Every structure is written in C-alpha cells, then in structure tokens.
Structure 1
Amino acid sequence: MPSVKPKRFTFLLLDHFTMLPFSAVIEPLRLANRASETLQYEWRLVGPWGAFATCSNGTRIVLDGGLSDDVPVSRDDVVIVCGGTNIASQATKPVLNWLRRQSRGGATIAGVCTGAWIMAEAGLLDGRKATIHWENHDGFAEAFPEVDLYRSVFVNDGNRLTAAGGTSSIDLMLHLIAQALGEAIASEIADQMLHTAIRSDQDHQRLSIPTRIGVRHPRLAAVIARMEANLEDPISPAELAADAGMSTRQLERLFRRYLNRSPKRYYMETRLARARNLLMQTEMSIIEVALASGFSSPSHFSKCYRARYGSTPYRQRGTGTTGTG
C-alpha cells in the first residue's frame, strides 16, 4: 500500500470518561496500522486538565496536552469526545468553546458513550442525526429536542459521528476504516479483536425484548414494546390486552407466568426507571419528570418512586450519581 500522510485523531478525554468505548475507538486505529503495514493513523490525547484524565473506573490516563492553541487541529482531523458519568457537569465553557473552534476549523467531530451530550451542548448537533447510550437516551431527548436522536449503535451524519458506547465504538471505527482502507482490512481488524459480528448503523443498541426478558413469547414481547413506546401516556391493561388479541385476564396470567408480576406493576417499574434516568441526567423539574413518565400527580409519583427505590425523587437527585456506569 502506498505511503500516505497519516490521518490524525484527537481524543478529548473528559473527567469520568468510560474506559471501554475509549479503548474500542483507539485500538482499531493501532490494528489498522498493523494490518496495512503503514502508518495510516496517528493520534493524541487531550483533556481539560492537561496532565491526565481519570476514567470512571479510577484509572488515570496521561495526556499529550490540554485545550490550548498549541494543540492545533486541522480540517482533516477527527476529534472524538469520550464521555462517561456525570456528563452534564463536563459541559464547561472551556470544553464547549474548544469544540466549537475545532468545528469552525473544519474538523470532523465525533462522540462516544455520552460524548454526544457535550456535542449537543456546544450546538454541534442541531438539526443533525445522532445517538447516545440507551441509558441517557430519554434525558438527551428531553434536553436537546432539536437533535434527530436514534437508538442505533452508531450514526454517521457526515462530519458528525456518534457511537452509543461500549463495543458500538468498535463498529463505528470499523465502518470508518472500511471506507478508507477497504472491507478486507476492516474484517482483519475485527478478527484480531474477536469481534465476530460487525454491526451497521441500522443495528439497535439493546437486545431484543425476548432476549432481554429471557422469554420468547411473541404476544408478550409485543405488549412490552407497546408499553415502552408509551411511557408518557400509559395505556390501560384492557387496551393492551385487546390490541394483543387476548382478554385482560389472559394478559394478567401471561405476565405472572413469565415475569412473576402483573402488567400494571411491570409498566410502573418501566415508567419509574425512565423517571430515574431523567432525574439523574437532566435539569427537568420534578413535576416535569413526573409528567414525562406518565404521572399526573407529583405526590403519587413521589410515593411510587420511594416504594421502588427507597428514596424520594428530591433526595435521589441530590445523590449526584448521573450518567452511564
């Protein structure tokens, strides 16, 4: 393969970034150099603090520099924002301004795990397609309605790239490497990483409902999918049953047999899980969270929340345990 100027990636490591997606985006670059037997890619690590960045598991990564003009980024570069927990607190003015400068300079901006949140805060995803880790999806959708949000493992929207985190970051990088160096090299890298099923931007983040609940029952899966699609405006058990072609009593028996709970309880737990994510990841008021989770009464919401999680929504928000683990 002829010698070319290596393409440069700049990794912005935010405090509490998650290790797995970071490893998943940088390792394919190393393996691409190895597979092509030429220096196709080079990279450097920067962060708000300049000296090192601490990931969510406590490991410290030594950085090549901070967010200053002595770390120039060209229009051919790719900047990858590596996010993690407590992501909203990482949207500081220096970070957002630095990202905006790189965008104005023509660089491609990418985000992995919760990196899309910072991109959205910087205004870089307005009117664009994006994805984010499923745990942060609801909070992101509420905070940034101007972003066209998907549940795909990754999204390629021209000079805006986002991956949901975890191993989805491998899929994004293999997609980019295949475009630049060919499918054969991308497949060789996947084999080296024992990544035997390369996913596309059409693949969803989460397991199918039957796999998730450990039950392969089409009508049960259909009812649960309907519940998950209607958390803000819950559907009555009678309507769920009728749409599934069964009686309410049959629906009750189905849920108790396979999930050991009533449809009402399962629906409630799903709505409360959404409420918890919104509390942790947004600045929405308690009443706004309640309404977005299908509760018309704040007092009823608080009572149900405490019964489920052992704490009121007000106290839960004060714990500060936000973002993806």
Structure 2
Amino acid sequence: MSETAKMSFFPKSTPLETAVLVFDQCNTLSFAAAVDPMRAANRRSGSTLFDWTFYTASGDPAQLTSGPLIQGPPIASLARCDLLLLVAGFGLEDHATPRLLSSLRRLCKSGAVIAAIDGAPWLLAQAGLLDGHVATTHWEDLDAFATRFPQIDTRKDRFVISPPFATSGGAAPGLDMMLFLIAERFGRPLADRVASAFLYDPLAAGPQRPSAPADPIRRNPQIARALNIMSQTIDVPLSIGEIARQVSLSVRSLEQRFSNHLDMSPHAYYLRVRLNEALRLATDTDMPVQEIALATGFSSQTSFSRAFRRIHGNSVRSVRSAAPPERNFGAP
C-alpha cells in the first residue's frame, strides 16, 4: 500500500499514547523529526493530541550521534501503546537482540501502529514484522535491505504506509511521514500548521535521493524530473539527449535551465551525482574499486579513478583510510 493509504487503523481516542523507542547512535535530526512534529501538533492544536514517553532498548541511556543522552525505561516494560515510533541509525545488528525483537512482535500483536525512521525499518524486518508488506529505509541501505529481506516489497520512496506499519528514510523523509500521519489522524489543516512551524515544505512519498532539490528546482517540474532520472540511472547513465527527450525539452533548453538553476551543465551535474554515490560506496562499503566504477557507470577503472580524484581530491584508497565504514549490518 502506498503513501496514499488511509491510516484508519489509528485509534480514535485522544491523546494517542505514544512510545518513542530511541537507539544508541541514532541520528539527532531523525530523533527530532519523530518528536518535534508531535510537540508542534499539541501546541498548534491547543490540546494534547500526542502523549509520549521515551524508551530505550535495555533501559540504559541511548546516546544520539551528536552526544545527548535519551533516558527511558526498557521497551520490554511497556505493556501497550497506540503508536510506537522507532528511531535508529547505526549499529543495527547490535540492537537486534532476541529480547528487543520479541518486544516489537509483542507490541505489534497488541494492536500498536508502528512507525520506523532511518535505520529502524531494519529492526522491524529482523523481527519478521514486515514480511509481505511494502517498506522503505534510509536510501544508503535500500539495496542491502532488499537483498537481506526478499520477502519484503522494498521501495525507494521517501516513506511508505503499509498498515499497521509506516516506514521512512532519514530525517527529512521521517518528517514528511510524521506530517502525513498527523494529517491522516487529525486533518490536513493541522498538518499544514505544524509544517509552517518548521518553515518546511513537505514532499510526497516520491523516490529518495542523496540530496533533495532546492525549492526553486522542485517548483520546476522538468528539472526535478531530470534530477530524478539521473539519480535512478547512476549505474547505466543516459545521454543528456535522452534525458532531455524524457522531460520534453530540447538539449539546449535543458542546458539553459541547469545553468540558471544549478550553475552547471547537465553533464557536470550528472557526473557529480555519480561520483557522490561512488564516494558513499567507498566510505560505507568494502566494494572493490572496479565494482564501484561499474556501479556508477564507468566502464574503465582508469577513467573512474581519474574522475574520482578530480572531484574528491583523493583516491578511493585514501578516502577509505581516512573514513572507515560507519554502518554495520553484519553478515547476511
């Protein structure tokens, strides 16, 4: 079920008794994306719509990536809730203990709506809860997620609704998901007022990209479509002429729009997208250089290495020695 699915399975009672399960190495922005929309909804509505309590996996404080500690009782002590929000980032295999997974299955069976942000969908998948469902996760981990859990229909969307679950990518997609949930349970006008509290223009559940386009670009649908095509064809790059054809522009018109809005040519932008993905693969995986080259559309390792060094200032080997992989999902 897509993001257009109705969240009619939310209980009609108010406030929604909400448990926020926070894990060690959780991204601070993802944490804020889960909690601040509830705070703003309460304030903008003038009533308590969400009543939340923080929990951690074991009862020990969870440390966010920027340093703050989140205190809370162990999730195993929670008997029930209306809404369970999971926020996780790194070290997911370490978090997926039998006790934690058992608690997630128990709370799901009790009737809780469960929403997962950033790396947290991985934990729901480990618990077997997403089998047969549509789901997404952080864009960096989509391929590994789809390979590890073939019984899940993995999508590249920013967020996905598949009752009783909602899954999203990182911080910004998580905020989009929370605004969607608020709209479905309490109405679009309130969700719009919550978004205005952050001066935030929500995106629908379209494909995730390493970086979202700036607002003027999003308001130019042909450029936005061109960027989406580029992000989806990194491994087999299209010609600029083919991209122009798909967005119903001439090559010259496409080049002019890129120059006006992005201050670079379509070719230069496309190359940067591919090499930014190469940088991610170099720092977050142990893929051989030749495989990284092929995954980012280079048939020659020599030309890839030359382009990588020109854009990033170092070789893949140098980048890896300076920045070892952060995400750790363990062996399949």
What TM-score results when the alignment is normalised by the length of structure 1?
Answer: 0.71
Residues 155 and 201, structure 1, Cα contact 8 Å, conserved in 2:
no
> For residue 320 of structure 1, what is the aligned residue in structure 2?
324
Q: Trace 1:154-169 onto structure 2 (pairs within 5 A).
A: 154-166=159-171, 168-169=173-174
1:216-263: CA deviations, max 9, x gaps? 594x6554443333211112345446666646xx47964884455454
Residues 182 and 190, structure 2, Cα contact 8 Å, conserved in 1:
no
Q: Matched residue of 1:15: which SS?
A: coil
- Name the Cα RMSD after superposition: 4.2
Return the letter of the residue paired with 1:228: S
1:285-315: CA deviations, max 9, x gaps? 4443332211233343333222221222234
* Residue 27 (structure 2) pairs with residue 9 (structure 1): no
Distance in 2, Cα, partners of 1:153 & 1:4: 28
Which of 49, 52, 56 is the aligned partner of 1:46? Answer: 56
Q: Trace 1:123-162 onto structure 2 (pairs within 5 A).
A: 123-132=128-137, 136-145=138-147, 146=150, 147-162=152-167
* Residue 105 (structure 2) pairs with residue 112 (structure 1): no
Distance in 1, Cα, partners of 2:286 & 2:132: 22
> For residue 276 of structure 1, what is the aligned residue in structure 2?
279
Distance in 2, Cα, partners of 1:150 & 1:314: 32
Q: From the superposition, tell whether residues 269 and 58 of structure 1 become closer, same or farther in structure 2 (CA, over 3 Å).
A: same
Larger radius of gyration: 1
Which of 296, 311, 314 is the aligned partner of 1:311? Answer: 314
Q: Matched residue of 1:144: which SS?
A: helix
Report the Cα offset of residue 143 of structure 1: 4.0
Q: From the superposition, tell whether residues 58 and 237 of structure 1 become closer, same or farther in structure 2 (CA, over 3 Å).
A: same
> For residue 291 of structure 1, what is the aligned residue in structure 2?
294
Q: Matched residue of 2:55: which SS?
A: strand
Q: From the superposition, tell whether residues 227 and 6 of structure 1 become closer, same or farther in structure 2 (CA, over 3 Å).
A: closer
Return the letter of the residue paired with 1:125: L
The sequence identity of aligned pairs, in percent, is 26
Return the letter of the residue paired with 2:68: T
Return the letter of the residue paired with 1:294: G
Q: From the superposition, tell whether residues 29 and 229 of structure 1 become closer, same or farther in structure 2 (CA, over 3 Å).
A: closer
Residues 105 and 127, structure 2, Cα contact 8 Å, conserved in 1:
no
> For residue 102 of structure 2, what is the aligned residue in structure 1?
101
Pairs aligned (count): 304
Which of 83, 87, 91 is the aligned partner of 2:93? Answer: 91
What TM-score results when the alignment is normalised by the length of structure 2?
Answer: 0.70
Report the Cα offset of residue 43 of structure 1: 1.9
Distance in 2, Cα, partners of 1:307 & 1:14: 38
Residues 16 and 82, structure 2, Cα contact 8 Å, conserved in 1:
yes
Distance in 1, Cα, partners of 2:163 & 2:169: 17
Q: From the superposition, tell whether residues 304 and 32 of structure 1 become closer, same or farther in structure 2 (CA, over 3 Å).
A: closer
Q: From the superposition, tell whether residues 37 and 290 of structure 1 become closer, same or farther in structure 2 (CA, over 3 Å).
A: same
Which of 178, 187, 211 is the aligned partner of 1:183? Answer: 187
